[in-house]
Amino acid sequence: MSAARPGLERQSTAEEAEHDYFAMNDPPRSLQTHSAQAKAFIGHHASRDRRVVLVTSGGTTVPLENQTVRFIDNFSAGTRGATSAEYFLKAGYAVIFLHRQYSLLPYSRHYSHSTNCFLDFLREGSHGSVVAHEEYREEMLSVLRKYNWAKENNMLLLLPFTTITDYLWNLREIAQLMRPLGSKSLFYLAAAVSDFFVPKDRMVEHKIQSSDAAERNIRKAKDSGRETGLEPSVTSVQSKRLVVDLDPVPKFLKRLVDGWAPEGMIVSFKLETDPSILASKAHYSLDRYSHHLVIGNLLSTRKWEVVFVTPGSPDRWIRVPKHRRTKSLSGSEDQVGLAALKSGNAEATEGC
């Protein structure tokens, strides 16, 4: 008997992982509505022969309880995604912006950052009116016009998610809806995606307790877990310590490339904190998933420099020189995001 080809084996394993994940973890309640909105949006732009990009943005949460009081989160504010979306719009793309609820949004990001309350840009005018301060007026008007243009022309669809599972259900659904766009579809995966999660069947129903009563509840949960042959993920609350047991989230980039959007252009991001492994991890990702571009970035320098890793080309660093690292009014500018999208524009300086 001949052994299965390694490529095929990997493929069926990825498909099995997809099947198991979506069978075990319920879709978000909003999925049907999102799907209908995305379908109408894609149809509208397909009939105009327009390119459509799915931009993912912000962090995904990992709930610890079914009735969620506590969850694990990550740092992402959605700056990269929201900034990049504006530049895709400028470049003529229709943008589906799949973002973490309450993270930064295209255009409004300029005025919504907590350190730059939008009220600080306004003052009371005559006869009870509200007007922008003179020094901000020009920039505000420019942002407002772009925002209105995107809205009036139905160029921007905002779809929120919260948990890792919401994110993955939405990603799969929208990718499959975008399939008929073929090479006119682009996936720009800037969201910070959790690598670990608590599977639904091991999640405790109620708020995890910190007192002795907790012990009894946990034991009860454990007992019910044993009945089904499963252990709850909260394995112990002993001496006030909480031990949580997380499963790996399957890497769905493989399924996106091979199954959900085989003709789309796919750009993923690779985030690291250790500079010595960034490039090699980005190459590894490209080799493993065989997509078009990996943009590597480090947590501490992500706003100023990224590395582009593409098949068959040398790595290309894009760096914003120190003297050009200015903050926007909102302080939420992602300058290298702009530079990357303008690729070749003077704002990006290579190898400096």
For ligand PMT, the closer CB: 117 or 299: 299
Other beta carbons within 10 angstroms of residue 252's beta carbon come to 22
Which residues lie across from 96 on neighbouring strands?
54, 157
Rounded to a whole number of angstroms, the distance between the first and last alpha carbons of the chain is 57
Helix (H) or strand (E) holding 212: helix 212-227
Q: Which two structure tokens, joined as six digits, stand for 87?
A: 């530049």
Assess 98 for contact with ligand PMT (CB under 6 A): no
Assess 330 for contact with ligand PMT (CB under 6 A): no
Q: Which two structure tokens, joined as six digits, stand for 40?
A: 């109408």
Assess 162 for contact with ligand PMT (CB under 6 A): no
Q: Where does this chain touch ligand PMT (CB under 6 A) — which range of 24-32, 91-99, 267-275, 311-319?
A: 267-275
Largest CA distance in the chain: 88
Assess 268 for contact with ligand PMT (CB under 6 A): yes
For ligand PMT, the closer CB: 89 or 307: 307
φ/ψ of residue 59, rounded to 5: -90, 160
DSSP 232: -
Q: Count residues near ligand PMT (CB under 6 A).
A: 21
Q: Closest separation between CB of residue 182 and ligand PMT, Å?
A: 22
Q: Which two structure tokens, joined as six digits, stand for 315?
A: 């790595």
Q: Closest separation between CB of residue 31 and ligand PMT, Å?
A: 19
Q: Where does this chain touch ligand PMT (CB under 6 A) — which range of 28-36, 209-217, 218-226, 266-274?
A: 266-274
Assess 291 for contact with ligand PMT (CB under 6 A): no
Instruction: Write the burial class of residue 153 (CB in 10 Å: 0-12 exposed, 13-18 middle, 19+ buried).
Output: exposed
Closest by Cα among 295, 284, 285, 289 to 257: 289
Which of 38, 62, 64, 77 is in the footprint of ligand PMT by CB under 6 A?
77
Q: Closest separation between CB of residue 239 and ligand PMT, Å?
A: 33
Which residue type, as a one-letter code, is found at position 146? K
Which residue type, as a one-letter code, is found at position 292? H
Residue in the block written with tokens 């706003």: 303
Q: Where does this chain touch ligand PMT (CB under 6 A) — which range of 34-42, 65-73, 75-83, 126-134?
A: 75-83
Which of 41, 147, 188, 252 is in the footprint of ligand PMT by CB under 6 A?
252
Assess 192 for contact with ligand PMT (CB under 6 A): yes
Q: What residues make contact with ligand PMT under the rule CB under 6 A?
A: 76-80, 189-190, 192-193, 195, 249, 251-253, 268-271, 297, 302, 334
